């Protein structure tokens, strides 16, 4: 069994275990699912009202914008479903010294702590995101090639990994500052920058949002592929950025573990 297939198998097993666990708490699941949906509806209302008063915003038509909203929903839900809960738990685990059992297993520890829990209410919301994108593309009329869809999918994954990298770094900051931090709150505050087209921002802010805090790379890039607003050079940059962010998390995690203080017995 190759390493990759082994890790894939383990991911599947952990996700299955989570599903079993999730099914025991049906009411909770519905609430969370519904919550995510309602925020999406609010976004639609917001966009609808804006487009009732104008035909385009920074060159984006209403359906262009909806493609972006759907893409962003897909990415954020995929991220939240796979990684968000793990990141919040990780902060507590580090602070309380609860990582011991994860550290003794003969598999990559970062993998284990990052994928252990899956939030199915968010995973299912991904479907809604895809549905919105498909619906909006339908309205725009243009056909999307298979290559386009593949590129979209990989850029979506890239966006998820960028979110993951940023939040992972924020969660493991507890290795250095012992107290619990609410740096994870930043996810919600900065996340809204990925919802709207980068074209609305002035040059400096836009550059910042494509480099330091690459919120625009997350959702704008994949959406732009579908509505034919993207450039090959930028796409390559987007992947390079995603990979380097991920590499940074691996490096930082190693450094953090050296400072790990296990809980006293």
Binding site for other proteins (CB under 8 A): 1, 6, 9-10, 13-14, 17, 20-21, 24, 27-28, 30-31, 34-35, 38, 42, 45-46, 49-50, 52-58, 99-101, 103-107, 109, 182, 185-186, 189-190, 192-193, 195-196, 199-202, 205, 257-258, 260-262, 264-265
Closer residue to other proteins (CB): 86 or 152 = 86
Integer Cα distance of 77 and 176 in angstroms? 29
- How large is the greatest C-alpha to C-alpha distance in the chain, in angstroms? 65
Secondary structure (DSSP) of 101-116: HHHTSSS-HHHHHHHS
Cα–Cα distance list, 120 to 37, 111, 196 (Å)? 13, 19, 26
Question: CB of 44 within 8 A of CB of 128?
Answer: no
Specify the residue, 49 or 212, whose C-beta has the smaller distance to other proteins.
49
C-beta closer to other proteins: residue 71 or 151 = 71
Nearer to other proteins, 218 or 235 (CB): 218
Give helix 62-79 / helix 146-171 axis angle, nearest 10°: 50
Smallest gap, in angstroms, from Cβ of residue 24 to other proteins? 6
Query: Smallest distance from the beta carbon of 240 to other proteins, in angstroms?
Result: 26
Least CB distance to other proteins at residue 173 (A): 13
Min dist CB 169 to other proteins, Å, is 17
Nearest in space to 223 (alpha carbons), one of 247, 249, 243, 194:
194
């Amino acid at each position: 069994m190759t390493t990759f297939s082994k890790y894939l198998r383990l991911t599947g097993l952990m996700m299955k275990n989570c599903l079993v666990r999730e099914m025991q708490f049906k009411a909770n699941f519905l609430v969370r699912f519904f919550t995510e949906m309602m925020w999406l509806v609010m976004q639609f209302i917001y966009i609808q009202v804006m487009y009732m008063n104008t035909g385009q915003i920074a060159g984006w038509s209403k359906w262009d914008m909806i493609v972006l909203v759907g893409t962003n929903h897909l990415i954020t839900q995929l991220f939240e479903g796979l990684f968000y809960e793990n990141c919040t738990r990780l902060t507590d685990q580090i602070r309380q010294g609860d990582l011991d059992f994860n550290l003794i297993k003969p598999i990559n520890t970062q993998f284990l702590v990052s994928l252990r829990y899956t939030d199915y209410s968010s995973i299912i919301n991904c479907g809604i995101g895809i549905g919105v994108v498909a619906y909006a593309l339908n309205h725009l009329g243009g056909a999307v090639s298979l290559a386009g869809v593949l590129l979209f999918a990989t850029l979506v994954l890239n966006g998820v990994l960028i979110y993951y990298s940023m939040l992972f770094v924020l969660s493991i900051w507890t290795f250095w500052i012992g107290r619990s931090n609410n740096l994870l709150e930043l996810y919600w505050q900065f996340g809204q920058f990925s919802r709207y087209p980068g074209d609305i921002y002035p040059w400096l802010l836009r550059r910042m949002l494509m480099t330091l805090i690459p919120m625009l790379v997350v959702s704008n890039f994949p959406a732009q592929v579908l509505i034919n607003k993207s450039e090959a050079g930028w796409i390559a940059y987007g992947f390079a950025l995603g990979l380097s962010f991920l590499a940074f998390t691996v490096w930082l995690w190693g450094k953090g573990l050296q400072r790990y203080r296990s809980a006293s017995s």
